[in-house]
Structure 1
Amino acid sequence: MNGPVVVGVDGSPSALAAVDAAARAATLRGVELRVVHAFLWPAMHAPPASSVLGPPTAALHETVERIVVDAVERARGQATGLRVDHAVIVGEASMVLREQSRTAQLVVVGHRGSQRLAELLAGSTAVDLSAHGHCPVMVVRGRPDPAGPVVVAVDGSPQGQPAIAFAFSEAALRGADLVALHAWSTWTDHREHALGRPVDLVEIVGDVDRLRQEEERELALALSAHRERYQGVTVRPRLVRGRTRPALIEASAHAQLMVVGARGHGGFTGLLLGSVSQAALHHAHCPVTVVRSHL
């Protein structure tokens, strides 16, 4: 896909960090960067087609213009020769960016916006866009390790394959290693957690070594389709016995990027995203890219 990288800006420090990450992503891909600001009149009564030059005050218009100009200048300062386009579009941020994602190859946003409500909701635009965007969505957060690997969550489901493919591609673009993390557990693990004491493995589970070998095969199978295409990427499979969410959060502390699927095994009905994706967006120590499956 030759579409642009789109970054949503609102003047917040989080959005400026997103501009930096988006400029790098566009440069690595050799495509245009599009800076987008979604604008709503304070009274919230403006019709969808109303002009951003229209009525309230010159000061408000200047504020919007400054947000976009600052973001464009910052992006151009990140890479010589980067093509940067910009747009101010009337509408609610998540809906505007969702529409932009139809023709983009990546949308980048900060994990928190400039509005107090967004702070209370821990990045409602980021979560909504990650759940409904038409392309991968990168949510910039934490302090990434520039020399760290790309980490991808592997759950073995067909729905998780697009995230793995994206992670391989991103690792190749960045010249980074790829850590493929697959967490597994037995009924015993859950029982021990509930009881607060060890449980007899032989009695409850039987052959734990056999289960581990099966999980290793599942991890290898999930990666096999992509290894041949990306032979230059160093892959480090990591099998972790334990819960997925804490294992991923820990791995993110030394990563430059984490990649997760929007929903894998065990999603809870009613959540915009699966619980693992939600945890990554809220607690990861590095930027997180959510890749939806259309299977």
Structure 2
Amino acid sequence: MNGGPSGFNNAPVTKTFVIASSIFTIFSGIKGGPDKLGLSYQDIFRNPRLWKLILSVFAFSSTPEMMFGLCLLYYFRVFERQIGSSKYLVFILFSVIVSLLFEVFAVALLKDPSANLLTSGPYGLIFASFVPFYFDIPVSTQFHVYSIHFSDKSFIYLAGVQLLLSSWKRSILPGICGILAGSLYRLNLFGIRKAKFPEFTGSFFPRLSWPSMGSPRGATTRNVTGSAPSHAGRHVERISAPMAPSTEPPQDAIATLVSMGFDRSSARQALVQSRNDINVATNILLEALSH
């Protein structure tokens, strides 16, 4: 499964976060300290260092962790396409802050000043993303290996398990805290799923002069409902409104709607009807599913 169109098409916040994480990891590696960025009881309660706290959110502690982590962040760009950059930025901040608070609470309970209890890296965001991945991303293909059932989602789960166990206890704790943060976001704690930054904030990220990665920018993809439909993957039987004459929908727009769980033929029909406006097409598909 590819999470929609290739590259960081319509996912500027994800692109910025991935590049920032890569830069911080490489920089800390040059300085000889990625393995020293893990947080301990002393770092938090006895000798607080804000710079280390910030770096620990972005910089992975090893190259294998960085490779698995960045691949997962790249795949999870599908959620930014679904809810829009302004809401996804809220999801990032909520996941990072809440998971960090859980980590601080866990370190306070363990009270082991002699060891780094938490590995560094954006574990909070990555494992918080597994919550909507589990509930909102449908299975598109299934297969068997020696009578064991697998799906296209299995590879994402395996990458997550590998990252979770990469530093054993030091990575398991941040991973669990991330899952808890993602669960609270899904439960809409304090109405957080309706919160979003002003539109000009979301439009700031595409203007950053990062190197071009992926296909050219297409139409903006934002699901105005705030999340992918939980019944994603069901066939949309019929779109009742008459279809307006239009050009053939672009393949990347169709792929984006398919990545949200809609049937390919229904996605194409909705795009034709909406004159290739993905926002309108998404609303048409959701209204058809609700009938």
**TM-score where L is the length of structure 2:** 0.22
Relative contact order, higher structure (CA 8 A, sep 6+): 2
Structure with more of its chain in helix, by fraction: 2
Structure with more of its chain in strand, by fraction: 1
